[in-house]
Amino acid sequence: MAGPDPVEYQIRRFLIQRGISQIQLADMAGLSPSTIERLLKGSYSPKTVRIIEDRLRIDLSGGASRPVTVSSKRFGGYTRENYAMYQGEYTAYRRSYSYPDNIVASGFRFQWSYDERCMQFFEYGEYPPDRGTDQAHTNMGNIHISDFVDLLHLVTLYEGAVRTITLTKMRPRLRNRLHGIILSQADPNLSFRPAVSPIVLVKLPEDDAGGKIQSRIGQIAPGDDAYGEINEWLNETEEEIALFPSIKTRRNESAD
């Protein structure tokens, strides 16, 4: 029998869905920011949970235990067991929309949700300093997997805005990497435009995940130690794995 999602997982989802920060949550619940920080790391007391439930009028108990290890058909009808190796922490790399020579690194977590009946993802990024917020969770969504397509689709829906990340499944040649494309929207000139980039997710060993994921978040510029290898992964995605017809056309023209 499967239980409800862990309390810290439900709180992370609550923060993203409501668009509030950890500090705002602490104010709403009448708790200290350090208490909320410990809770999100999985360290909390039953009293803390009761306070949050009472102040925010939410239920974190999840109701009765229930066996839900197969996703609903709209997510692909896949089983938790068949994709257990995908659960865990990743570092993701894509090209920067504002500074094309730079690479943006963020953290991802894949985890099964008994409430949503599918595998979900959380992305951890960083806001520019002038945003004035400590909110580290930038995106979340559900993972769609079809038996007929050898791909994973990470979909974020928020108030009419849609972002999709389509990734290859794990392949022996790519080892612990998932390669694909992110289709989103960006506002480099204060005007939102469609934005696309190759993206690579690298799965972290269990003993290298957890809190260390935050140290991997941020901008990687040419000249940084890790830039060369990561840039090669993105080039491989553009040239061999994903279909970027314009890139292939330019490459062929330059060879003529």
Residues 122 and 36 in one domain: no
What is the β-pairing status of strands 137-145 and 118-124?
antiparallel
pLDDT (0 to 100) of residue 126: 56
**Is 65 inside a domain boundary?**
no
Q: What is the CATH number of the domain that holds 39?
A: 1.10.260
Residues 51 and 77 in one domain: no
**Is 79 inside a domain boundary?**
yes
* CB proximity list for 98: less than 8 A, separation 6 or greater: 186, 188
Residues 100 and 216 in one domain: yes
Residues 200 and 136 in one domain: yes
Domain that includes residue 40, residue range: 7-56
**Is 178 inside a domain boundary?**
yes
**Is 63 inside a domain boundary?**
no
Residues 131 and 210 in one domain: yes
pLDDT in tens, 167-190: 998 877 777 899 999 999 887 666
Please return the burial class of 142, using the count of CB atoms within 10 Å of its CB with bins 0-12, 13-18 and 19+: buried
**Is 67 inside a domain boundary?**
no
Confidence class for position 215, pLDDT limits 50, 70, 90: low
Residues 129 and 251 in one domain: yes
User: Of residues 52 and 246, which shows the higher confidence score?
Assistant: 52
pLDDT in tens, 61-80: 654 444 458 888 899 999 88
pTM over 0.85: no
Residues 35 and 106 in one domain: no
Cα 143 to Cα 34, 77, 106, 121, distances in angstroms: 31, 11, 18, 7
Number of domains in the chain: 2
Residues 117 and 216 in one domain: yes
Q: Which two tokens stand for residue 93?
A: 């790399």
Beta bridge partners of 167: 152, 180
- Judged against a pLDDT cut of 80, whether residue 106 lies above it is answered with yes
Confidence class for position 134, pLDDT limits 50, 70, 90: very low
Radius of gyration of the chain from Cα atoms?
Answer: 20
What is the distance between the alpha carbons of residues 236 and 190, in angstroms, rounded to a whole number? 31
What is the distance between the alpha carbons of residues 211 and 241, in angstroms, rounded to a whole number? 31
Q: What are the helix (H) ranges across the chain?
A: 7-18, 22-29, 33-40, 46-56, 227-236, 245-255
pLDDT (0 to 100) of residue 218: 87
